[in-house]
């Protein structure tokens, strides 16, 4: 079994889900007392969020690249950035290490295409929804990506940073996000990418929504196990 390096803390709420999901999937596949070989570098999200807000992505890239190199030094055979937004600096992270970076958008696009869907709505932070680093990566896989209107984008972003990253899961926000999903469906979205790992704390892919919801944390975790057991 290969060792999985988790670059987490963005936020720790979703990083905890990565750890749980990866270990549960390894146990499911191998049985018995098996668990995953994992090394974790968890950053201070307040520092990262400040760099995001100021637009200093170069500094954010250097911060994550340093941590990724430490993961490799600790024995990681592959690395995951446990956040959608921070894949904006994925190239800087990959350049800093000699082991593969398992890109979340690639794994997600594979899952969407496997479901026979080519037009998807994207929910995430404002950075993920409004900048091109994530949408363009999905487009290279043949996906057409729709994002909510400005007011809905602002509400999704607010919910992520003001509630979910702080461990708050509110019924009102759940209802609001179901309405946002419905508006994307009405515009032609055949499925919705939950393009922020915290959104899976609010929305249940097995029960919510009028179209399939693609849970990026679950997808990324399964892809990590695939790679570790290959």
60-74 confidence digits (pLDDT tens): 999 999 999 999 999
**Structural domain that includes position 125:** 105-216
Quickly state the pLDDT bin for 225 (edges 50, 70, 90): very high
**Cα–Cα distance measured from residue 161 to residue 130, given in angstroms and rounded to the nearest whole number:** 16
Quickly state the pLDDT bin for 209 (edges 50, 70, 90): confident
Q: How does the average pLDDT of the chain come out, rounded?
A: 97
Residue 211 has pLDDT above 80, yes or no: yes
Q: Residue 146, SS3?
A: strand
Sole residue written with tokens 């609010």: 202
Same-domain check for residues 114 and 163 = yes
CB 194 within 8 A of CB 123: yes
Same-domain check for residues 26 and 83 = yes
Residue 166 has pLDDT above 80, yes or no: yes
Same-domain check for residues 58 and 127 = no
Q: What is the pTM of this model?
A: 0.94
Same-domain check for residues 114 and 162 = yes
Same-domain check for residues 98 and 12 = yes
pLDDT at 149: 97
Residue 188 has pLDDT above 90, yes or no: yes
The arithmetic mean of pLDDT across residues 155-176, rounded, is 96
Quickly state the pLDDT bin for 81 (edges 50, 70, 90): very high
pLDDT at 210: 85
128-140 confidence digits (pLDDT tens): 999 999 999 999 9
Residue 216 has pLDDT above 90, yes or no: yes
Containing 37, the helix (H) or strand (E) segment is none
Strand order in the sheet with 38-42: 38-42, 4-8, 78-81
Q: What is the CATH classification number for the domain harbouring 28?
A: 3.40.50.1860
């Amino acid at each position: 079994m290969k060792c999985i390096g988790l670059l987490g803390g963005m936020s720790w709420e979703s990083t905890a889900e990565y750890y749980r999901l990866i270990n549960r999937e390894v146990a499911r596949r191998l049985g018995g007392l098996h668990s995953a070989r994992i090394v974790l570098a968890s950053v201070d999200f307040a520092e990262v969020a400040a760099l995001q807000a100021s637009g200093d992505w170069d500094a954010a890239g250097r911060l994550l690249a340093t941590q990724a190199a430490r993961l490799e030094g600790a024995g990681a055979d592959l690395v995951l950035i446990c956040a959608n937004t921070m894949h904006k600096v994925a190239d800087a992270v990959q350049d800093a290490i000699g082991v593969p970076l398992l890109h979340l958008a690639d794994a997600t696009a594979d899952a969407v295409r496997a479901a026979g869907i080519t037009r998807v709505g994207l929910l995430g932070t404002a950075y993920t929804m409004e900048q091109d680093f994530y949408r363009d990566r999905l487009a290279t896989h043949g996906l057409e990506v729709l994002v909510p209107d400005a007011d809905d984008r602002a509400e999704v972003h607010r919910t992520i940073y003001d509630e979910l990253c702080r461990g708050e899961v509110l019924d009102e926000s759940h209802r609001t996000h179901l309405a946002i999903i419905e508006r994307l469906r009405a515009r032609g979205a055949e499925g919705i990418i939950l393009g922020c790992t915290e959104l899976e704390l609010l929305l249940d892919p097995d029960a919510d929504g009028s179209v399939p919801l693609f849970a990026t944390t679950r997808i990324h975790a399964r892809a990590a196990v695939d790679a570790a057991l290959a």
